[in-house]
Amino acid sequence: MARLEYQASLDSLESDLQEQGEVVLRAVRGAMDALETQDVGLCDEVIAFDDEIDERYHRIERSIGELLAQQAPVASDLRLVLAVLHSSIHLERIGDQSVTIAKLTKLSAALEQHTELVEGLCEMGARGVEMVRRSLAAFAGRDVAGARELVDLDELIDRTNRAVVDKVLAMSATPEMQEWGMRMIVVARCIERIGDNAVDIGEQTEYLVTGEFHEFSDASH
């Protein structure tokens, strides 16, 4: 094996991505736990934690800039570098969704809540966490079939997201409940986006392995 330093840089880039993934998963889990327990303190922690996620993204971006400048990667190395960069951006956005969920939870803390809907959102969030976890595992294992399975999981989240609006409309008897419901529609939308970002990481896995980029599902989805 030649270019040992170069290979070490690529390996380290990939482990940085997986570590960023672990950190982002903690943020999503934290945001969902805060929603379930109405823990405003935990919401603040999730919001503050976003700086850590952003820093990890910027570190990966800097490393990639240096690799491109110094090593001029090509072929599967180039695909790895591009796939890591895109996946890192998707993870950073998942972090942002967690922050939004935490902020909405804080804003809704004093409002009357609909327990059944909160449970539904938490279940939806658990699916989102599972999707992110699987997307990272598929990337690490170069598992294209596993990456493609994310589309099926995403469909479940999308379906729940669509049902949330109907539920909110049906339950909104008081202005206070309406306000809470509106905020929860946005929470559902954030979780739905987390699922989409996990699918995006899956698409990067397929690109990394095959050299071909395909959207797993079209825009009408």
Partner 1 sequence: MTQTTTASPVPTGIDLSTISRPASRLDTDPRGREVVFGVDGLSVSYGGALALDGVSLEIRKNFVTAFIGPSGCGKSTFIRCFNRMNDLIPGAVVDGRVLYHGRDLYGSNVDPVEVRRRIGMVFQKPNPFPKSIYDNIAFGPRVLKLTKELDERVERTLRHAALWDEVKDRLSENALGLSGGQQQRLCIARALAVEPDVILMDEPASALDPISTSRIEDLIHELKREYTIVIVTHNMQQAARVADMTAFFSVELHEDGSGRHGTLVEYDRTTKIFTNPSDRRTEDYVTGRFG
Q: Which residues contact partner 1 (rule: CB under 8 A)? A: 1-3, 6, 72-79, 210-212
Question: Nearest distance from residue 74's CB to partner 1, in Å?
Answer: 5
State the minimum distance, in angstroms, from the CB of residue 105 to partner 1: 37
Taking the complex as a whole, the smallest distance from the CB of residue 220 to partner 1 amounts, in Å, to 12
Between residues 13 and 91, which has the closer beta carbon with respect to partner 1? 13
Distance (Å, rounded) from C-alpha 117 to C-alpha 76?
45
Nearer to partner 1, 67 or 136 (CB): 67
Task: Report CA 84 to chain centroid distance, whole Å.
Answer: 14
Report the C-alpha gap between 56 and 67 in whole angstroms.
16
Q: Is 109 helix (H, G, I), strand (E, B) or coil?
A: coil
What is the 8-class DSSP label of residue 219? T
The smaller minimum CB distance to partner 1, of residues 53 and 80, is found at 80
Four-residue CA torsion sign, 170, 174, 175, 178: negative
Least separation, in Å, of the C-beta of 81 and partner 1? Answer: 11
The least distance separating partner 1 from the CB of residue 3, rounded to whole angstroms, comes to 5
Q: Among residues 22 and 66, whose Cβ is nearest to partner 1? A: 66
First to last CA, the chain: 44
Query: What distance in Å separates the CA atoms of residue 125 and residue 119, rounded to the nearest whole number?
Result: 10
CB atoms within 10 A of CB 138: 25
CB atoms within 10 A of CB 172: 16
| ∠ CA 81-86-88, rounded to 5° | 95
Query: For partner 1, which is the closer residue by CB, 1 or 173?
Result: 1
Q: Smaller CB distance to partner 1: residue 68 or 151?
A: 68
What's the closest the beta carbon of residue 162 comes to partner 1, in angstroms?
A: 23
